[in-house]
Amino acid sequence: MPYITNGELTTNGKTIMKSGETVLVNFTCNTNILLVNSITTCQRDRTRNPQPSCSDIECIVPSLTYGYYVSNAINANSNLTYQSTITPYCFDGYALESSASLTCQNKSQWSGESPSCTPITCGTTPEAFGNGRYNTGGHLSV
């Protein structure tokens, strides 16, 4: 039967696989670990294909245009592992939509809604007033 790192397996009492035999084995991975390939087939050369494995649950840090994330993890520039959190922030001049922190969950997905940073605008210039004008410094913002 297959050996699995970072987990264990249980079967229905079967301990030997025959060549070409496909066996569904119940694999259990350790906490914070994701199961990959739960069904395996015994090959003629006594190997199993695909080889079941348990690997770390990782979430890819999503992009945030005009912003950045602060994380509880050491290196927030790469993939983060299970239960890591990221908190979004926007650059000056941008407002954050959906400001909640995100947590890496099982199935390698982030909790919550993806944040976005939108430009802060003040709308149109106010209506004209008597005997005066607005100086925008050459920039008119809408």
pLDDT tens digits, residue range 100-120? 899 988 778 899 888 999 999
Give the pLDDT confidence score for residue 83 in this predicted structure.
Answer: 82
Burial class of residue 27 (count of CB atoms within 10 Å of its CB; 0-12, 13-18, 19+): buried
For residue 6, is it left (φ>0), alpha (ψ between -120 and 50) or beta?
Answer: left
| CATH number 2.10.70 is the correct assignment for the domain at 7-56 | yes
CB atoms within 10 A of CB 125: 12
Q: How far apart are CA 21 and CA 31, in angstroms?
A: 30
The residues spanned by each domain of the chain are: 7-56, 58-119
Q: How far apart are CA 139 and CA 125, in angstroms?
A: 11
- Look up residue 124 and give its two tokens: 């149109």
Give the pLDDT confidence score for residue 119 in this predicted structure.
Answer: 93
pLDDT in tens, the chain (142 residues): 555 666 666 665 666 666 666 666 666 766 655 566 566 677 777 776 776 667 777 888 889 999 999 887 755 556 787 888 999 999 999 999 977 899 988 778 899 888 999 999 877 666 766 777 666 665 554 4
Q: How far apart are CA 3 and CA 47, in angstroms?
A: 11
Give the pLDDT confidence score for residue 88 in this predicted structure.
Answer: 93
**Same fold across 7-56 and 58-119:** yes
Give the pLDDT confidence score for residue 112 in this predicted structure.
Answer: 87
Q: Which CATH number fits domain 58-119: 3.30.530.20, 3.30.450.40, 3.40.50.1820, 2.10.70.10?
A: 2.10.70.10
Q: How far apart are CA 71 and CA 54, in angstroms?
A: 25
Give the pLDDT confidence score for residue 125 in this predicted structure.
Answer: 66
Give the pLDDT confidence score for residue 34 in this predicted structure.
Answer: 58
Give the pLDDT confidence score for residue 142 in this predicted structure.
Answer: 43
